[in-house]
Amino acid sequence: MKDEIENATYTRLAQQVTSRGPWQQTASGYGFFPSDPRAEDVRIEDIAAALSRTCRYAGHLKRTVEHYSVAQHALHISQWMEEDGWAADACYAGLHHDSEEAYIGDIISQVKWSVPELRPFAHRVTLAVREALNITISPSLEKSVKYYDFLALSTERRDLLSPNLTQHSWGDLPPPRPKRLIPMSQPAVHLLFLERHFELWKELGYDE
């Protein structure tokens, strides 16, 4: 019985394998190939749809929070960077710092640390997304975006997560942003993410 189940599972998976490896159908109906990621397969509409439906922290939010999306997380980072005087290219990089998760999911950092083989795989998808969206990010800018990522973690922990009942520390995080976070609905954040993308896209002159 076990062999029959394994064989049936393998057969179903094998039906999805192409010359570019396994494929997944995106929100727009097109295909993406995680083991052979290419810029030509990346669509901003798919990114906005997927990230607005993808929950941060693998869904481990406090009981009173129904959903908090990766898209809203990215929006906050982009907006905070603008508030702090960063140029459009930096705000654009902040908006899309997690956009590869539209294709591979929000793999929590604890899993990435535990399974280091995931890192190069995810990085290849990241490079394809950056090429498709014209994202240029220097090492210094990447470090700055990471600071805002930690700032978001600090603020989200205060507003969206349960109190820490363990004996373990979250580490050295910056103080949270003063304004409290209010989770948005999926349709609202989907639209706002797209609007922010095209606002910055136009400001950077990519539509010319």
pLDDT in tens, 16-29: 888 998 999 999 99
Please name the helix (run of DSSP H) or strand (run of DSSP E) that holds residue 72, with its range, or none. Answer: helix 70-83
Is the confidence at residue 2, as pLDDT, over 80? no
> Whole-model pTM above 0.75?
yes
Domains of the chain plus CATH, in order, are 21-203 (1.10.3210.10)
Task: Establish how many alpha carbons lie within 13 A of residue 117's alpha carbon, considering only the half-sphere containing its beta carbon.
Answer: 0
The structure tokens listed for 175 are 């103080």
Query: What is the rounded distance in angstroms from the CA atom of residue 179 to the CA atom of residue 105?
Result: 28
Amino acid, single-letter form, for residue 108: I
Rounded to an integer, what distance in angstroms lies between the CA atom of residue 89 and that of residue 96?
11
Do residues 100 and 129 touch, judged by C-beta distance below 8 A? yes
Q: What is the pLDDT of residues 108-162, one digit of tens each?
A: 889 988 999 999 999 999 999 999 999 999 999 999 999 999 999 999 999 999 9
Inter-axis angle of helices 186-203 and 88-95, nearest 10: 150
Residue-wise pLDDT tens digits, 27-65: 999 999 999 999 999 999 999 999 999 999 999 999 999
